[in-house]
A and B are shown apart, each in its own frame.
Chain A
Amino acid sequence: MQLKRGLPPGAALRQQLMAASCALLSSAGARAQAPDSAPFLNGLLDNLSVDSAVAYYHEDGRIQAVEPIVNVAKTFANGDALDVNFTFDSLSGSSPNGALPSHSAQTFSSPSGKPGHGYTTAPGQLPVDPNYEDNRVALSASWTMPVTRVTDVTVGAKVSGEDDFVSFTLSASLAHDFNEKNTTVSGGVYNEFDSLKPIGGTPDPGSDYALADKTGNRTKDGVGILLGVTQVMTRTWLSEFNVSVDRFHGYLNDPYKFTSILDASGATTGYQYESRPDQRLRKSGYWENRVAWDALSTALSLRYMSDDWAVHSVTAQLRVRWNLPGEQSYIEPSVRWYRQTAADFYMPWIVESTQPDSPYESSDSRLDAFHAFTYGIKYAHRIGPLGPLASSEFNVRVEYYQQKYQNPNTNLPDLQGLDLYPELKAVLVQFGWRY
Chain B
Amino acid sequence: MTENRYSLDGSIRIEERSEGLLAVCFDAMASPCELLLPVRHRSEAIELGTAVANEAWRVERKFSRYRKDSVVSVIHRSRGSRIVVDEETASLIDFAQHCFAISDGMFDITSGVLRAAWHFDRSDRLPPQADIDRLLPLVGFQKLQWHRPVLVLPPGMELDFGGCGKEYAVDRAYEQLAALHSEPFLVNFGGDLRANRAPPSGTWKIGIERPDTICEASMLLELEQGALATSGDSHRYVMRNGIRYGHILNPRTGWPVMGAARSITVAASSCVEAGLLSTMGLLKGGEAEHFLGEAGVQHWINR
Name B75's closest neighbour in chain A (CB-CB). A44
B73 touches A11 (CB 8 A): no
Chain B residues positioned under 8 Å from A22 (CB to CB): 270
Q: What CA separation (Å) do A182 and B138 show in the bound complex?
A: 9
Evaluate contact between A41 and B134: CB separation under 8 angstroms. no
Within the assembled complex, what's the spacing in Å between the Cα atoms of A11 and B296?
Answer: 7
List of A residues within 8 angstroms of B135 by Cβ: 180
Q: In the complex, what's the smallest C-beta–C-beta distance from B74 to chain A, in angstroms?
A: 6
- The answer to whether B91 and A20 touch across the interface, beta carbons within 8 angstroms, is no
Measured in the bound complex, the distance between the Cα atoms of B147 and A390 in whole Å is: 9
B82 near A10 (CB under 8 angstroms)? no
Binds A, one of B171-179, B200-208, B218-226, B235-243: B171-179
Asked if B84 and A47 make an inter-chain contact with CB atoms under 8 angstroms apart, the answer reads yes
Inter-chain contacts of A1 with B (CB < 8 A)? 101-102, 104
Q: Contacting A29 at CB < 8 Å: which of B69, B84, B99, B175? A: B175
Binary interface encoding of chain B residues 259-274 relative to chain A, with 1 for a CB under 8 A from any of its CBs, else 0: 0000000001110110
Bound Cα distance from A259 to B102, whole angstroms: 73
Which residue of B155, B270, B294 is within 8 Å of A10 (Cβ)?
Answer: B294
Knowing A1-B102, A42-B86, A232-B137 are in contact, say whether A23-B91 is a contact too (CB < 8 A). yes
Q: How far is the CA of A184 from the CA of B276 in the complex (A)?
A: 36
Q: How many Å lie between the Cα of A8 and that of B116 in the bound state?
A: 38
Name the distance in Å between A75's Cβ and chain B's nearest Cβ: 6
CB <8 Å contact, A24 and B94: yes
Please tell me if the beta carbons of A21 and B295 are within 8 angstroms of each other in the complex.
no
B272 and A25 contact, CB distance less than 8 A: yes
Out of A11, A48, A180, which one reaches B295, CB within 8 Å? Answer: A11
B168 on the A face (CB < 8 A):
yes
B156 and A17 within 8 A (CB) = no
Check A21 against B86 for contact (C-beta < 8 Å): no
Count of chain A residues with a beta carbon within 8 Å of a chain B beta carbon: 52
Q: Which of B81, B85, B101 contacts A43 (CB 8 A)?
A: B85
Q: Do A79 and B74 touch across chains, with their CB atoms under 8 A apart? A: yes
A40/B71 contact (C-beta < 8 A), A21-B276, A49-B81 known: yes
With an 8 A cutoff between CB atoms, is A113 at the interface? no
- A interface footprint on B57-76 (CB within 8 Å = 1, 0 otherwise): 00000100000110101101
Chain A residues within an 8 Å CB radius of B44: none
Is the C-beta of B277 less than 8 angstroms from some C-beta in chain A? yes
Chain A residue contacts of B270, Cβ below 8 A: 21-22, 25
Complex Cα distance A47/B78, Å?
A: 10
- The yes or no answer to B46 lying at the interface (CB within 8 A) is no
A316 to B24, CA, bound (A): 68
How many angstroms between the C-alpha atoms of A73 and B83 in the bound complex? 11
A14 touches B296 (CB 8 A): yes
Which residues of chain B have C-beta atoms less than 8 A from A179's C-beta?
134
- The complex places the Cα of A14 from the Cα of B73 at a distance, in Å, of 32
Whether A384 is near chain B, meaning CB under 8 Å from some CB there, is yes
A32 CB–B CB distance under 8 Å: yes
**B74–A41 touching, CB < 8 Å:** yes
A40 & B86 in contact (Cβ 8 Å cutoff): yes
Which residues from B are CB-within-8-Å of A9?
A: 294
Which A25-59 residues sit within 8 Å CB-CB of chain B? Answer: 25, 27-29, 31-33, 40-44, 46-49
Give A347-397 interface residues, CB cut-off 8 Å to B.
Answer: 384-385, 390-391
- Contact of A181 with B155 in the complex, beta carbons under 8 Å: yes
Return chain B residues, CB-CB under 8 Å to A13: 102, 294-295
B126 within 8 A of A: no
Q: When A1-B101, A11-B294, A17-B276 are in contact, do A23 and B95 touch as well, CB less than 8 Å?
A: yes
- Given A44-B71, A44-B84, the answer on whether A232 and B156 have CB atoms closer than 8 Å is yes
Q: Which residues of B contact A391 (CB under 8 A)?
A: 82, 147, 150
The smallest C-beta distance from A404 to any residue of chain B, in angstroms, reads 39
Flag if A44 contacts B95 (CB, 8 Å).
no
Let me know if A232 and B71 touch, CB within 8 A: no
- Complex CA distance for A1 and B98, rounded to whole angstroms: 11
9 new A-B contacts, CB < 8 A, other than A25-B175, A235-B133, are A10-B292, A16-B98, A18-B268, A20-B102, A25-B172, A41-B86, A47-B84, A234-B133, A385-B147
CB<8 Å pairs between A and B, sample of 29: A10-B292, A13-B102, A13-B294, A14-B296, A17-B99, A17-B280, A18-B268, A21-B95, A24-B92, A25-B172, A27-B91, A28-B88, A28-B171, A32-B175, A40-B71, A41-B71, A44-B86, A47-B83, A49-B82, A77-B74, A78-B69, A79-B73, A149-B68, A181-B138, A181-B156, A234-B133, A385-B147, A390-B147, A391-B147
Binding site for B on A (CB under 8 A): 1, 8-11, 13-14, 16-25, 27-29, 31-33, 40-44, 46-49, 73, 75, 77-79, 81, 146, 149, 179-182, 232, 234-236, 384-385, 390-391
